[in-house]
Structure 1
Amino acid sequence: MKHVILGAGPAGIIAAETIRKHAPHDEILVIGDEPEAPYSRMAIPYLLIGKVGEEGTHLRHGVDHYAKLGITLRRARAKHVDVEGRAVDLDDGTTVVFDRLLIATGSSPATPPIPGIHGRGVHPCWTLKDARAIMELAQPGAKVLQMGAGFIGCIIMEALAMRGVELTVVEMGDRMVPRMMGPTAGTMIKDWCEAKNVKVHTGARVEAINRPEPGILDKLADMAGLKPAHKAAAMTVRLSTGEHLEADLVISATGVKPNIGFLQNSGITCLIGVLTDEHLQTNVPGIYAAGDCAEAFDKVSGTTIVSAIQPNAAEQARVAALNMVGQKAELKGVTQINVLDTLGMISASFGKWDGVPGGQHVELTDLPAGRHLSLQFDGDRMVGCNSIGWTEHVGVMRGLVEGQVRLGDWKDKLMADPTLLMEAYIACAQGQHQFVAGKR
């Protein structure tokens, strides 16, 4: 049996190792499009602040790790999948055949169409190559402007702040992390960042990035293959508010999109991502998907979603790999899960944090203490929540949302006092609550 895995990120590597564990004699080929050893993008912020070197971002250590497991790594990019011929065409002009295929191609930064965004001094923070460029430019005192204050953006922002730069963040939404936090929580995070000397512009967007024309000395230095004779003037970034800001470095952190373009006209069904069933199999038998490019069922919302977080990617990879070797396994579902440390402020968001039509919700906010709690209900189930500062309840909140726990009378108690999450969880786990007739 030959297994071909497209993507050498966490999902691809976990799948390959799971296949090897259960099928010791099967052929495994992992195809990735970067020159480095397989690594975790989530480790890049630690590289930026010097907590790890590049080797510390690697998913596995030891130059012979993959060889010992009989896993072949190859550098290439998929161009097309031939479903009938069970083959993948690669960008190096070759074709590989497969018995089982896993699509784990991840995602890429979504670059907004802004004049000047493709010039020098502008980088996403997505690859090790990006990280090297950012570390060269993000020196103490440098003026850095970051576009985007979402989940990934806030992680990058913290690393940049720790490098001692003068940091400005521009977010189109009316608050920070608008896709995981409600108005109160998102505004609290913004206020916290500004208190930490990060300038934050919400409700704004970058409209253009302008660079001054190089002077004669710079042109002569460039012709001679030397560095500019003097430091070039900073870029000027124009905002939709009419403001003009100077920047030595611009970071683009405006979201990501699944890498699924090569599947066009393949016959493999894609919506936002590659659509999968509970076994992570696509509509084509023997072809699976996992990770940031996969669209799987979310039991809380009742719809399929792309959940681009590493814990979900790892579980999807494990389930897909087991099915690829003939062991029946089902994904219990994916849930939107985000726990974020923003310059020391811990926030969390689970499930339908913005609620459901006809649902109830309760909020508790203590601004002086930097604490906020928002619970969303559908009947007597908690379907989502936001929190800031309630670190002791993170596990319980996740358990209640993911487990779709019927709270019975405890729902009303939480509406009266949302801090009783632990008591509600323990009571419901022990069966000490009332059930709706005929339902659990």
Structure 2
Amino acid sequence: MKHIILGAGPAGVIAAETIRKHAPHDEIVVIGDEPEAPYSRMAIPYLLIGKVGEEGTHLRHTPGHFEALGVRVLRGLRATRIDVDARAVETSDGARHGFDKLLIATGSSPATPPIPGIQGPGVHTCWTLEDARAIMALAQPDARVLQLGAGFIGCIIMEALAMRGVQLTVVEMGDRMVPRMMGPTAGRMIKDWCEAKGVRVHTGARVDAVERQPGGSAPMQVKLSTGAVLDADLVISATGVRPNIGFLENSGITCLVGVLTDQHLQTNVPGIYAAGDCAEAFDKVSGKTIVSAIQPNAAEQARVAALNMVGRGAELKGVTQINVLDTLGMISASFGLWDGVPGGQHVELTDEAAGRHLSLQFDQNRLVGCNAIGWTEHVGVMRGLVEGQVPLGDWKARLLDDPTQLMAAYLACAQAQQHPGLLKTGAH
């Protein structure tokens, strides 16, 4: 049996190791599109601030790890086409690789907005080790750095840049920071916190153009939709990502936002699977298929896909939107349908002086989403209640009255699952 894995990121590596564990003699080939050893993009901010060297970003540190497993890793090759009928992958070097089972784990790439001048020198994404090298050369102390985007990834990059001692300005099109993760109150609190830490933040603004001096010398002039013109020695584009699925066009493999999968992570083509940032899987909270570009979900999808590839039946229990973010020391969290559902109930509690905010969203008798700032002790409980779709019984009314009772509600509901009837009576 020959397994081909497209993608050498966390999902691809975990899948290869899982296959090898359960199929000692199968052939495994991992094809990655970068020349680097398999590494984690999540480690790039640590590289930017000097906490790790480039080797510290590598997913596996033991010399000869993949060779010892009998896993062949091909670097610097891009999949250009999948021939479903012939069961073969064509790569950018013109080669064809036959397979019995295939995993598409090609991840995602930065979505660069169509702004005049954004493709020129001095503008970089922060997605690859090559990007990180360019950024470290330019993001020296007191350099004027302008970052486009204050979403989840943008805030992680922003923190690393701030720690390098640059003069940092962030421009976000939304009316608040992390607008796809946080509601208005939470997003505004994060903005206020960042500005208090010395980061200039423009929300409700877009970059209209990046202009350069004659000969391309620094500084660049960045024109905003507000009319402001800002000087910048470096521009970082962090305006979101999109799944790497273009090569699947006309392949017969069904794609929506990402590669559509079932509960086994199998596509509509038997024997072809998908996992990670490029996969679209079922979210049990929203009842829809979503692309969840976070590493914990990617790892679990890879594990489930790999087990099915070797004939060991496994099902994905579902994906849930999970985000925990440290923004210059302010810890925020967002789970599930943080913006609620039509007709649902919600409750908010805000103490700005203490840097705390809690927003809970309910659908009938279940907690379906939440936002939190400063409630680090309840992060696990929030995830458990949302992801587990736990019936709350009388505890829903109690949480609407006092949302800080999340821990008590979680413990009572867990006990009720072992002793049915407790929630109905409200006993605890």
Q: Does 1:143 align with 2:140?
A: no
- Which residue in 1 is equivalent to 2:311? 326
How far 1:233 sits from its partner (Å)?
3.4
Over residues 98-124 of structure 1, what are the superposed CA-to-partner deviations in whole Å (9 max), with x where a residue is unaligned? 000000000000000000001000000
What are the within-5 Å matches in structure 2 for residues 421-432 of structure 1? 421-431=406-416
Letter in 2 for 1:14: I
Number of the residue aligned with 1:226: none
Deviation at residue 62 of structure 1 after TM alignment? 2.5
Secondary structure of 1:214's partner?
Answer: helix
After TM superposition, the structure 1 = structure 2 runs for residues 161-172 of structure 1, keeping only pairs within 5 Å, are 161-172=162-173
**1:306-326: CA deviations, max 9, x gaps?**
000000000000000000000
Partner of 2:176 in structure 1? 175
SS at match of 1:168: strand
Shift of 1:173: 0.1
Matched, 1:68 2:68: yes
2: CA distance, partners of 1:93 / 1:63: 30
Show the counterpart of 2:267: 282
Distance 2:189 2:64 in 1: 48
SS across alignment from 1:175: coil
**Secondary structure of 1:419's partner?**
helix
- Trace 1:341-360 onto structure 2 (pairs within 5 A): 341-360=326-345
Match of 1:387 among 372, 386, 393: 372
Question: What do the CA deviations read for 1:345-377 (whole angstroms, capped 9, x no partner)?
Answer: 000000000000110000000010000000000
The residue type paired with residue 218 of structure 2 is: A
Amino acid corresponding to residue 434 of structure 1 in structure 2: L
Aligned match of 2:423: 434
Question: Which residue pairs with 2:86 in the alignment?
Answer: 85
Residue 433 (structure 1) shift: 3.8
Q: Give CA-to-partner distance per residue, 1:286-340, whole Å, 9 cap, x none.
A: 0000000000000000000000000000000000000000000000000000000
* Residue 269, structure 1, aligned to residue 254, structure 2: yes
**Contact kept? 2:218, 2:232, Cα under 8 Å:** no
Which residue of structure 1 aligns with residue 284 of structure 2?
Answer: 299
Which sits farther off after the overlay, 61-70 or 158-167?
Answer: 61-70
Contact 1:47–1:57 (8 Å) recurs in 2: yes
The two structures, once aligned, show a CA RMSD in angstroms of 0.9
What is the SS of the residue equivalent to 2:67?
A: helix
CA distance in 1 between counterparts of 2:400 and 2:99 reads: 54
Instruction: Indicate the residue corresponding to 2:125 in structure 1.
Output: 124
2:199 aligns to what? Answer: 198
- Counterpart of 2:242? 257
Distance in 2 separating the partners of 1:425 and 1:110 = 39
CA distance in 2, matches of 1:274, 1:377: 30
Aligned CA distance change for structure 1 residues 433 and 246 (closer, same or farther; 3 Å): farther
Q: Distance in 1 between matches of 2:145 and 2:345?
A: 42
After superposition, what is the alpha-carbon deviation per residue over 1:161-189, rounded to whole angstroms, capped at 9, x for unaligned? 00000000000000000000000000000
How far does the alpha carbon of each residue in 1:171-217 deviate from its partner, in whole angstroms, 9 at most, with x for none? 000000000000000000000000000000000000000001029xx
8 Å CA contact retained: 1:348, 1:387:
yes
CA contact (8 A) 1:410 1:433 kept: no
AA matched with 1:427:
A
Which position in structure 2 is the counterpart of 1:14?
14
**1:336 corresponding residue in structure 2:** 321
- Give 2:315's aligned amino acid: E
The alignment status of 1:111 with 2:112, answered yes or no, reads: yes
**1: CA distance, partners of 2:234 / 2:215:** 17
Output the CA distance in 2 between the equivalents of 1:404 and 1:207.
43
Superposed CA deviations along residues 368-415 of structure 1, whole A, max 9, x for unmatched, are: 000000000001100000000000000000000000000010000000
Cα deviation for residue 63 of structure 1 reads 2.8
Q: Which residue of 2 aligns with 1:245?
A: 230
Q: Deviations over 1:24-65 (max 9, x none)?
A: 000000000101100000000000000000000000012311
Q: Which runs of 5+ in 2 are unaligned?
A: none
- Unmatched 5+ residue regions in structure 1? 216-231
Name the SS of the counterpart of 2:156 in structure 1: helix
CA contact (8 A) 1:11 1:314 kept: yes
Q: Distance in 2 between matches of 1:364 and 1:234?
A: 44
Distance 1:435 1:30, change over 3 A: farther
Aligned counterparts of 2:130 and 2:394: Cα–Cα separation in 1: 54
- Map 1:395-406 onto structure 2 (within 5 A): 395-406=380-391
Given that 1:80 and 1:88 are in contact with CA atoms closer than 8 Å, whether structure 2 keeps it comes out as yes
1:133 aligns with 2:118: no
1:435 positional shift: 4.8
2:278 & 2:193 partners in 1: Cα distance? 33
Distance 1:264 1:57 in 2: 32
Q: Is the 8 A contact 1:409 1:433 kept in 2?
A: no
Q: Distance in 2 between matches of 1:171 and 1:97?
A: 45
Q: 1:373 aligns with which of 358, 381, 397?
A: 358
Distance in structure 2 (CA, Å) of the matches to 1:335 and 1:427: 23
Per the alignment, residue 98 of structure 1 pairs with 99
Partner Cα separation in structure 2 for residue 257 and residue 156 of structure 1 = 18
How high is the TM-score relative to the length of structure 2? 0.97
1:68-101 Cα deviation digits (max 9, x unpaired): 0000000210000011100011110100000000
CA contact (8 A) 2:370 2:382 kept: yes
Q: Give the Cα separation in 1 of the matches to 2:326 and 2:8.
A: 27
Distance in 2, matches of 1:410 and 1:429, equals: 12
User: What letter is aligned with 2:106?
Assistant: T
